[in-house]
Structure 1
Amino acid sequence: MTARKTLLEQDGVQLTVEEAVATVTLTNPAKRNAQSPALWRALAEAGRLLPGSVRVVLLRGEGKSFSAGLDRQAFTPEGFEGEPSFLDLARGTDEALDAEIATYQEAFTWWRRNDIISIAAVQGHAIGAGFQLALACDLRVCAEDAQFAMRETSLGLVPDLTGTQPLVSLIGYARALEICATGRAVHAAEAERTGLANLVVPAAELDAAVQDLAAALLAAPRDAVVETKALLRAAGGRTFEEQRVAERAAQGRRLRDLAGLGE
């Protein structure tokens, strides 16, 4: 058994690795794991530090809430210490504003890499940026008390941390529009019914359920899982014929590899 190693612990984010499973934990329960640019940089760094041996990444939040979203200090004139305030960014050039938001988005993109499967363990509130962070993962396992809400529109903003595409893909355009435009809460039962959550369990069973799912995902050969994830992620942007071609190519690679003829 390989000992668990801590590879990162900064700005409310901890990354630990044990064999083929990495765990990213939001570690500021006193503020319900509210998010900030510093936390986003730490999340992006966690993705860069991920060893190549990792196959499954678990994302969790300490305390009663997964993440209550963006720290409201971001909207004050002073913002965060050592950071440009959002108001200062708004007064800058279009290019600078676009570049800064792109940097924030890096924290939400690496979870979709084809070489890993990411699982969000969601309890309590997953609001705004917290909702989008859960959407960044491939799978979501929720406690019965989980509540999702996209509050950006209510604040005069839009969801800009890569959450709109997976939300529409999971639950459809009409339902996604209604949830985002109203900012209403989506409780765990609805999340499971609509496909937003893969599984809902009692809060006391959340960690065990996530560990069981991770173990099941590790049972199949890694390369087969990687190829399958790549096929499924790209399917929505391909025609039926294009997907047939991609399936044949992927299967050819798998058969050659199993026969010992791979590159």
Structure 2
Amino acid sequence: MIQVRYSSPPSSAETATTADLRDAFLVDDLFVAGEVRGTYTHDERMVIGGAVPGTGQLDLPAWTDVLGADSHLARRELGVINVGAAGHVVVDGEKFELDHLDGLYVGRGSEVSFTGADAAFYFVSAPAHATYPTRALSHAEVEPVALGSAQAANERSLFRYVWGQEIETSVLQFGVTVIADGSVWNTFPPHLHERRTEVYCYVDLAEDDRVFHLMGRPGETRHLVLRNREAVISPPWSIHSGAGTGSYAFIWAMAGENNTYTDLVPVAVDDL
């Protein structure tokens, strides 16, 4: 199953009800046992998806009626991160084992399937103009960048898996940010990047915990309340920041016309 979301102007968020915001920007039904589910957003033509294989094997769907091709990656590249227990992603017959929060970049033109009784795979695809090699990305082997501070309640570790350096892609970037115990804020103070869309998927939350995700133009912010394994689409005009009621991590993925990781515009707290 795949949904389609159309692009929204910033003014639509400023006058929207909570239900309107959730319908337009929240992706809350990706992880269903025995299924592959996806959402296609016209923002950068990204596909956000989840695959929960259970005891079987699931193929990455072509979703031909939406993507217009006989294979999902005929004109796309893919990023995968396992948010469950250990499992495997099979790319053109080659098996890659992914433990919790391990990632995988898959280049254009490949065929992909998922296995693992207790695995749950989050994936994002975006249009690609060229083909680059498949790369396994071990969470344990990525050197994190320390950000924030305990005093500001925003201490966190940024794990850059694919970020415009070391691994070449067409447009896709993705990684994981882990919030330190005792901290709550992510991406704060926030920022904007006009030439890219970003998607956050919040993971590793306890059952009763939530993340209050801030979105919108500076000075006109709104918020969404997210559970574990729910995602939110952040268009180029929107900040993307949030605070959790307990420990959590989030997967960030970006696509657009600019793949320079540091191409962003900081937003001062006074401007919110």
TM-score, normalisation: structure 2: 0.28
- Report which structure shows greater RCO (CA 8 Å, sep ≥6): 2
Larger Rg over CA atoms: 1
| TM-score, with length taken from structure 1 | 0.29
Which structure is higher in helix share?
1
